Amino acid sequence: MKTILLAGGAGYIGSHTAVELISSGYDVVIADNYSNSCPEAVKRIEEITGKSVKAYEVDIKDKAKLETVFKENKLDAVIHFAGLKAVGESVAKPVLYYRNNIDTTLTLLECMQEYGVKNIIFSSSATVYGEENPVPYTEQMQRGTCTNPYGWTKVMMEQILEDAAKADKELSVVLLRYFNPIGAHESGKIGEDPQGIPNNLMPYVAQVAVGRREKLTIFGNDYDTPDGTCRRDYIHVVDLAKGHVKAIDYVLSHDGVEIFNLGTGTPYSVTEIVDTFEKVNDMKINHVYGDRRPGDLPESYANADKALNVLGWKTEKTLADMCRDTWNWQKNNPNGYNK
């Protein structure tokens, strides 16, 4: 059985990926400092899968501690989810973001070199397409200009991983550019649990639904889009997690660097998200229209052909599934994991 290290595996995308990998016959080891997650998420993964999961509380930047994980486990591949991801916070605390996101990557690569682990998948983002590229984004486009330090960390980490693979011909790197993951596992046991006021749309909608926030502000309705609100490529987190299983199969059998967009290829507007959430969950979401949020692009969506053609992966879930599963998670866990 192949063993995969999930760095940041207790978080939103990591926990769903852990479930899908275990269900596909992989063994997983989680390493997380719980800076944006909690050990309860690991328990929930165990509940869903019926398997026990080895988890280490470790800061990935702490090389001595991370080495213990590499020493104690025969790892076949690493998936690197461990990063800080709040765009606004990255503008206020750039040094924290560069230190955490770049350093985790370098420390993982050093340990991989020392322990002979040759396969890594990296959680990148559609944000690397920057401001210049036209939608839909394809993987061969040049990385663009980002509007914030979070985005730049992703650009830099992609570059670091490409350079590492150039120098070591046995290294296999897959860069996964996620679009907008939302939704939750259908069991309602794991889901997105942001700390404080949510920055992202869907968790904010869910917290209005459960009564934790009074109303949603829709940031701008004067964009050059069909209904004037921004459009994004929302992807169900379980579809995204299944994309990682396909990417693991791929990374274990190839060398070099490959980039894949993980999105549906279909954009939805903010208004369509609110309308669909209201309809499938039979409720009203109190909302108002406000100013544009600085740095927001009018549209971001994938051309998802490469993942289909090379990995044999495509999304299966609908926007209605995403809205239903988000609400199922939120209503069963009104305060997230700290219920």
Give me the residues that bind ligand UDP (CB under 6 A), please.
180, 199-201, 204, 216-219, 230, 232, 270, 293, 296, 300
Which residue's CB is nearer to ligand UDP, number 56 or number 223? Answer: 223
Q: Which does 296 bind (CB under 5 to 8 A by kind): ligand NAD, ligand UDP, none?
A: ligand UDP
For residue 245, which amino acid is it?
Answer: V
Query: Does 104 sit near ligand NAD (CB under 6 A)?
Result: yes
Tokens of 122: 């990296």
Q: Which does 100 bind (CB under 5 to 8 A by kind): ligand UDP, ligand NAD, none?
A: ligand NAD
CA atoms within 13 A on the CB side of 98: 9
Query: Does 76 sit near ligand NAD (CB under 6 A)?
Result: no
Contact 237, 181 (CB under 8 A): yes
Residue of 97, 150, 204, 301 marked catalytic: 150
Q: Which does 13 bind (CB under 5 to 8 A by kind): ligand NAD, ligand UDP, none?
A: ligand NAD
CB of 231 to ligand UDP, least distance (A): 8
CB of 326 to ligand UDP, least distance (A): 12
Q: Find all residues with CB under 8 Å of 87, minimum gap 6, and list them.
A: 148, 150, 151, 199, 295
Q: Which does 33 bind (CB under 5 to 8 A by kind): ligand NAD, ligand UDP, none?
A: ligand NAD
Query: Does 336 sit near ligand NAD (CB under 6 A)?
Result: no
The DSSP string of 115-178 is: HT--EEEEEEEGGGGTTTSPSSB-TTSPP---SSHHHHHHHHHHHHHHHHHHH-TT-EEEEEEE
Task: Write the burial class of residue 187 (CB in 10 Å: 0-12 exposed, 13-18 middle, 19+ buried).
Answer: middle
Query: Does 35 sit near ligand NAD (CB under 6 A)?
Result: yes
DSSP state of 35: S
CB of 169 to ligand NAD, least distance (A): 26
Helix axes 12-23, 39-49, angle to 10 degrees: 30
Note if 268 is an active site residue: no
| Euclidean distance between CA atoms 178 and 137, whole angstroms | 12
CB of 204 to ligand UDP, least distance (A): 4
Helix (H) or strand (E) holding 232: strand 231-232
Task: Write the burial class of residue 214 (CB in 10 Å: 0-12 exposed, 13-18 middle, 19+ buried).
Answer: exposed
CB of 332 to ligand UDP, least distance (A): 22
Query: Does 100 sit near ligand NAD (CB under 6 A)?
Result: yes
Q: Which does 10 bind (CB under 5 to 8 A by kind): ligand NAD, ligand UDP, none?
A: ligand NAD
Q: Which does 219 bind (CB under 5 to 8 A by kind): ligand NAD, ligand UDP, none?
A: ligand UDP
| Euclidean distance between CA atoms 91 and 83, whole angstroms | 15
Which residue's CB is nearer to ligand NAD, number 10 or number 184? Answer: 10
Residue among 12, 94, 75, 25 nearest 326 (CA): 12
CB of 230 to ligand UDP, least distance (A): 3
CB of 267 to ligand UDP, least distance (A): 10
Which residue's CB is nearer to ligand NAD, number 99 or number 212? Answer: 99
Q: Which does 221 bind (CB under 5 to 8 A by kind): ligand NAD, ligand UDP, none?
A: none
| Euclidean distance between CA atoms 32 and 247, whole angstroms | 21
What amino acid positions are annotated as catalytic residues? Answer: 150
**Residues within the interface to ligand NAD (CB under 6 A):** 8, 10-14, 32-37, 59-61, 81-85, 100, 104, 123, 125, 178, 180-181
